[in-house]
Structure 1
Amino acid sequence: MDKMMADKDPVAASAQKYKPIQSAVPGTTLGPIQINAFLGGEKLYDTPGVHLHHRQAAVVHSNDLPALAPQSRLRGQSFPKSQVSSGNGTGEKDNSNGLNGYSIFWGGLVRVDILKALPETRLTFYGPKSLQIHMVPTDTADEFYQKEVGVLLTPPTGKQRADQWRGLETERQLQIKVEDVERPACDVAISGLGWITVEPVSRVLTSSDTSAKGAAGEVHLVVHVPKPVEIFVRSPLPVGKSGAEWYQYRELTEKEEEDRPKLHF
């Protein structure tokens, strides 16, 4: 706001020159900041935002907050890939069974166990690029996390913060019904971090393999996050050109209207 005012008001321009107006990291305003931004002597105040305890930013160390801030346009990272980590985070493993029996770590903040999936199910992660994603067999996932949290799996960053880290205490089991393989089944959103798009069948496969179009079933996931970070399932967001291929506008159902938060004026 002060930046826009600076074009016409010399006082605002002066305030912009000598006062920190914005930060790349959310949650850095600790108290009211007075800004002399008007010729008439009035004051402009920048105040702290509302603390949301259910977001990832509320549970990580303040020095790790920059890792949660997107630095560029979000681009999804899809799994499975041909390279799959073994129990020590390196090496290759046969992935002919798709995602079944694997766990995916999103930094040290999220773990997704795939209990049941269609052979061509794909998970696409949208979030900060600084959080690396690692995929390991579920039977070695506990050991892998204990060994690599604070090292390969960050945040938390460093041994000292990892020793104080309470771990991924919240667990939610998801049973996602697949009704149309030509569009994503849903998004699994992690509050304050990003979301995971659940695609029952790869779009490349649906365009080339007609037998895949008749596939249906369920995807069963277990998602682990720090307490009290929220996990919620929503309709998939149409992202990029591929989203335009399957997105269709529809009205809310009666149940969705009933569950929708009510606004009172």
Structure 2
Amino acid sequence: MITETEVQALLNDDLRCIGCGALIQTTDKTALGYTPMSALIKGFDQEEVLCQRCFRLRHYNEIQPVDLTDDDFRRLLEQISETDALVVYVMDVFDFSGSLIPGLHRFVGDNPILLVGNKVDVLPHSINRAKIRDWMRQQANIAGLRPIDVLLTSGKNGDDVPALMTAIEKYRQNRSVYVVGVTNVGKSTLINQIIKDVTGDRKEVITTSRFPGTTLDRIEIPLDETTNIIDTPGIIHQDQMAHYLASKDLKFVSPQKEIKPRTYQLNEAQTLFFGALGRFDYLKGPKSGITAYFENNVPLHRTKLSNADHFYQQHAGKLLTPPVQENLSLLPPLRRYEFKIAEKSDVVIDGLGWLTVPGNVVIAVWAPQGVSVLTRKAMI
């Protein structure tokens, strides 16, 4: 068994939490990296050196707040532009706009970007992967990015990780690799799959959860004697749907299984609610099938457009959940977006889901203020 003196020597040598990257310390309970000395000694014996925050998150699914600001996260990333490295930019295929990092070019400098769309396992199998990649590249170009390649992965099941590692080896050219992304895109889950693929160790290393902002400092995983894969903290993007929900409601916007489409035959002046998180108004067009792609447990409710405002006011947080009543105040007011749809299209509420609508119709979509709503050519 390791002694307290030996542990103290390791603490003096910048010992870091394997879960979030924070420096381990045993003195300040309110600061990052705190863990009691007794727990730290036990952790060494069990080969699991975690701060108290990561221990509680991993074993009890409890989250403790941290005092890191957006500027703190950005300062940790600015060092990337000063290095010669490959940047792997992980985005959530289910929440593309919410996955964009504002001013990414300032962080990466002249380094090449490999764009990775994660969580592809939750998308219906009927969606052609080439269409998803093409759409991601188009959206990246609009945002001013020119990725050297676009790949799709599932950090959860790891099926695509060998192909991702092949691409990383191709493009890194013996350089280190920085993995960047906003919070909640599954970046740390993907890193754990990479570790398993490289080392054959099936144990999860980096702390993962649905809670935004789990990784707090850079975590280095050796690739060889001179280069590393570096997992960086997730940039907090306040436009993400996840930031407006309490822990018990997060599961409704973080699909864990393949999304099953739900189709409704709608006439003009009918409305669909997606819990209390959003709304779809069919304003003009013939009776049509409207297909909804949301997390399978999000309840959908149909009503008349003329009654929709009253229905929402009366039932939000009760019949219309998530969020539940006590967490409804966290949700910004719904904002209305109207579209004239010329051809079959998807109308996307970032981080929540999308609806496929026919051409030659007029619709309105409501989403929490700050959450992006956009249209794209139908994926299916």
| Post-superposition offset of 1:195 | 1.2
Instruction: Say if 1:22 and 1:42 are closer, same or farther in 2 by CA, change over 3 A.
Output: farther
Instruction: Tell me the SS of whatever aligns to 2:292.
Output: strand
* Mapping of residues 49-60 of structure 1, within 5 Å: 49-60=234-245
Aligned to 1:2: 195
Change in Cα spacing, 1:40 to 1:108, as seen in structure 2 (3 Å) is: same
Gaps of 5+ in 2: 1-193
Determine the structure 2 residue equivalent to 1:133. Answer: 300
Residues 223 and 135 of structure 1, relative CA distance in 2, 3 Å threshold: same
Of the candidates 157, 166, 176, which is equivalent to residue 332 of structure 2?
Answer: 166
Q: Map 1:114-153 onto structure 2 (within 5 A).
A: 114-119=282-287, 121-153=288-320
Task: Tell me: CA distance 1:21–1:6, structure 2 relative to 1, closer, same or farther (3 Å).
Answer: farther
Count of residue correspondences: 187
Q: Report if aligned partners of 1:19, 1:35 keep a CA contact under 8 Å in 2.
A: no
- RMSD of Structure 2 on Structure 1 (CA): 2.7
Cα distance change of structure 1 residues 66 and 164 upon mapping to structure 2, 3 Å threshold: closer
The residue that corresponds to 1:72 in the other structure is 257
Please state how far the C-alpha of 1:237 moved relative to its aligned partner.
Answer: 0.4
> Unaligned regions of 5+ residues in structure 1, if any?
8-12, 81-97, 179-184, 201-217, 239-265
Larger % of helix: which?
2
- Note the C-alpha offset of 1:55: 2.9
CA 1:33/1:136 → structure 2, altered by over 3 Å: closer, same or farther? same
Name 2:370's counterpart in structure 1.
228
TM-score, normalised with respect to structure 2: 0.44
Matching residue of 2:352: 193
Q: Equivalent residue for 2:205?
A: 19
Go from structure 1 to structure 2 and tell me whether the alpha carbon gap of 1:118 and 1:36 turns closer, same or farther (over 3 Å shift): closer
CA distance in 2, matches of 1:38, 1:236: 40
* TM-score, scaled to structure 1: 0.62
Letter in 2 for 1:194: G
1:166 to partner: Cα distance: 3.2
- Deviation string for 1:94-120 (max 9, x for gaps)? xxxx4211111012111111111212x
The match for 1:111 among 276, 279, 283 is: 279
Larger relative contact order (CA 8 Å, sep ≥ 6)? 1
Contact 1:173 1:220 in 2 (8 A): yes
Give, in angstroms, the shift of residue 135 of structure 1: 0.5
Measure the CA separation in 2 of the matches of 1:70 and 1:237.
18
The offset of 1:221, in angstroms, is: 0.8
